[in-house]
Amino acid sequence: LYGTLLLRLGSAICVVLPDVYWNMSNNIFSGGGYYLSPNPYDMVTVYCPYYERGTSDPVEYNVLYEVGEDGYNRCDAERGRPLLRCDRPYGISPNYEALKLTILFQEYSPSPYGLEFKPGRDYYYISTSTGEYGGLNATVGGNCVNGMKMKLSICCKSNADW
């Protein structure tokens, strides 16, 4: 579960980091947020809350936003960029798999909508949803004030090392 996988991506080494389960029951958020310091070309997958069909447990809904440092500190996603909408707690068809976002920490993305990460910079992610369906689109407070946030500090390798 907490192991890492090494992949060779061109001339770079890629480490597949442990998955992040984006739900309030995950104890990585109990200390006021989660901190990760990936190297260039590392990968991490963020999973939405997922529940078996027919469960009697309450389900959780969240939106993962990329925000600036101020939005992170104030739990405010009004200027944030939504990256992952966790609005299907029973998964997606045809195999009812959990919704997820896989992030490759690359300096340049081939997609105009892709994520890009500069060495030595910090990136911030929060969920201001309340956890309930009616609070899915809340952009202030929500689960963030209970620690549902993540800070990524990209390792400071120079471009020559990429």
Q: What is the pLDDT of residues 51-77, one digit of tens each?
A: 988 888 899 999 999 999 999 999 999
Assigned CATH for 5-161: 2.60.40.420
Q: Which residue intervals of the chain are DSSP H helices?
A: 69-74
Confidence class for position 158, pLDDT limits 50, 70, 90: low
What pLDDT digit, counting tens, does each position of 143-157 carry? Answer: 999 999 999 999 875
Q: Please, are residues 154 and 121 in contact by the beta-carbon 8 Å criterion?
A: yes
Rounded to two decimals, the pTM is 0.86
Contact yes or no for 59/140 (Cβ under 8 A): no
In this prediction, residue 97 carries a pLDDT of 84
Whether residue 93 has pLDDT greater than 50: yes
The domain locations on the chain are 5-161
- Give yes or no for residue 95 having a pLDDT over 80: no
Mean pLDDT of the chain: 89
What is the DSSP code (8-state) at residue 159?
G
